Amino acid sequence: MKALEVHNLRKEFTRRDSRGKRRVAALGSVTFDIERGECVAILGPNGSGKSTLVRLLSTLLLPDGGSAAVFGHDAFKDTRAVRRLVNRVSVEASFFKKMSAAENLSYAARFYGMRPSATKDAIPEILGRVGFPKDRRGEPMENLSRGMQQKVALARALLTSPVLLLLDEPTTGLDPRSKQEVQEFVREVRAEHDATVLLCTHDLAEAETLADRVGILDGGDLLCLEPVDQLKARYRSSTLEEAFFAASGHAFENGDREDD
């Protein structure tokens, strides 16, 4: 069974501007699948539809067409089953800022059925694994750096042992060291927990380092999805940036067309 099967998935949003009200496609007709244990990176500039894809798979958006299945469960009909299997880390850490890391993790774990007897040990352990300092667990989130907050976001996602981890630009805005630590942790999670990872990023190096296969998403359309070497060979490019240019016809950062 595939970890993820996406078939002709489509999402549009209504926009109001000087031209009036119109429908804009955030995600065209996207089709791909991911094997269990695989790490697939979807590469795309801002506004290419990466976050829309992650939100659809997280059951936070309803599609306008197509289908998606997580380990055989329909992502839009069998949402309860999908939610048990999936967790997500997004570019914004999103926590109650006055609450501490331990408090934010504690209540969130309850939503996944984890009782206090389970989180008592699991929270300090997972925070320790992501390199979060022990003496700062009780501090309000607003006192923490962006890198620290992102580590807590990773801990929140992994605390619930997801079999499909959706990473939406998890290292954007992090300093090089924090970025490296997060990437290292993603590798560790794959190796130790048999987790399947869908990484949406605009960091070309990150996609190349972490993923088994890389897809190029541009203007809501998935132009290709294959191992990095094959991708480069197909477009006769020495770098992913060149491959993106060859595939899309424009430079990597010029794709800001539509809000994700």
Partner 1 sequence: MRTMSLALRHELVGLSGVIERNIYLVRRYIWWDVAFFLWTVANTLTIVFIAKGIPAVGGQIDVEKVTTILLVGAVIWAYLGIIFEILTETVAWERWEGTIEYTFMAPLSRPVHLFGMGLFAIVYGVVRAILLFGVVAAFFSLHLPDANYVAALGVLVVASISFIGIGMMTAVLPLISPEKGTQLGFVAQGLLLVVSGVYYPVSVLPTWMQWIAKISPATYALRGCRRAIINGAGITELWREIWALLIIGVVSIPLGLYTFRSGERYAKKHGKLKRSG
Residue 192 touches partner 1, criterion: CB under 8 A: no
Residue 150 touches partner 1, criterion: CB under 8 A: no
Which residue lies nearer to partner 1 by CB, 88 or 232? 88
Region from 39-47, 100-108, 176-184, 199-207 binding partner 1, contact rule CB under 8 A: 100-108
Residue 177 touches partner 1, criterion: CB under 8 A: no
Cβ(43)–Cβ(207) below 8 Å: yes
Block residue for tokens 């067309």: 257
Cβ(201)–Cβ(169) below 8 Å: yes
Contact string (CB under 8 A) for partner 1, positions 37-66, x = contact = ---------------x--x--xxxxx----
Which residue lies nearer to partner 1 by CB, 111 or 238? 111
| 163-187: burial string, b at 16+ Cβ within 10 Å, e else | bbbbbbbbbbebeeebbebbbebbe
Residue 171 touches partner 1, criterion: CB under 8 A: no
Half-sphere exposure of 165 (CA within 13 A, CB side): 30
Residue 117 touches partner 1, criterion: CB under 8 A: no
Residue 245 touches partner 1, criterion: CB under 8 A: no
Reduced to 3 states, what is the DSSP secondary structure of residue 217? strand
Residue 96 touches partner 1, criterion: CB under 8 A: yes
Q: Is 228 exposed, middle or buried (0-12, 13-18, 19+ CB in 10 A)?
A: middle
Spatial separation of the C-alpha atoms in residues 29 and 38, rounded to whole Å: 22
Region from 96-104, 171-179, 190-198, 228-236 binding partner 1, contact rule CB under 8 A: 96-104
Radius of gyration over every alpha carbon of the chain, rounded to an integer in angstroms: 18
Q: Enumerate binding residues for partner 1 (CB under 8 A).
A: 13-14, 26, 52, 55, 58-62, 80, 83-84, 86-88, 90, 92, 94-99, 103, 106-115, 140, 156
